[in-house]
Amino acid sequence: AGVKEDSFNVLDLAEYTKNRPWWRKVFAPSSGSSAEKYNVATQLVIGGVTGWCTGFIFQKVGKLAATAVGGGFFLLQIANHTGYIKVDWKLVERDVNKAKQQLKFHRSGNKMPPEVKSRVDEVIIFLKKNVILTGGFAGGFLLGMAS
């Protein structure tokens, strides 16, 4: 007589998320472009700060990577000249020529695969919708690279 039945609604997440872009899944359904949510100053600050951080990290990682590649090349040259390793230059030349032929083949088609084209289109749409944020990011990135 005094028993209360609880009713639950079941949400099929697979159906709900089937045709939604990944950023909508992450940031909730009400998230639109940043131009709809933030004023110009806030967009510039967010873009500038994230751009500066990205540029600064990119600069540091780039220096580290250049040092590692240069040092590795230097050590390989020393090992080659002292006789620790032997390089089969004919094999290297054959592989380089094969790579050149593949590059010529891909360049002659001059068409992007459809999945790359769709991603590029998504990026262009995002950039057009968020011009101020993108401009702030670009400026911050250049400042981060310079500092």
Q: Is 29 inside a domain boundary?
A: no
C-alpha distances out from residue 93 to 58, 76, 88, 89, 100, Å: 33, 18, 9, 6, 10
By mean pLDDT, which of 16-20, 30-34, 88-92 is the weakest? 30-34
Range of the domain at 104: 88-130
Tell whether 119 is covered by a domain: yes
pLDDT tens for each residue of 41-69: 888 888 899 999 999 999 999 999 999 99
Q: How many domains does the chain have?
A: 1
- Which of the residue ranges 68-72, 95-99, 125-129, 137-141 would you say has the lowest mean pLDDT? 125-129
**Residues sharing a CB contact under 8 Å with residue 140, sequence separation 6 or more, in sequence order:** 47, 48, 49, 50, 51, 52, 53, 54, 55
- Determine the pLDDT at residue 5: 67
pLDDT, tens only, 80-127: 889 888 888 899 999 999 988 887 766 655 566 777 788 888 888 888
Q: Kindly state whether residue 109 falls inside one of the protein's structural domains.
A: yes
Indicate whether 124 belongs to any domain.
Answer: yes
Is 73 among the domain residues? no
Pick from 132, 138, 119, 136: which is nearest to 37 by CA?
Answer: 132
- What pTM, to 2 d.p., does this model score? 0.52
pLDDT for residue 41: 84
User: 51 in a domain, yes or no?
Assistant: no
Judge whether residue 31 has pLDDT over 60.
Answer: no
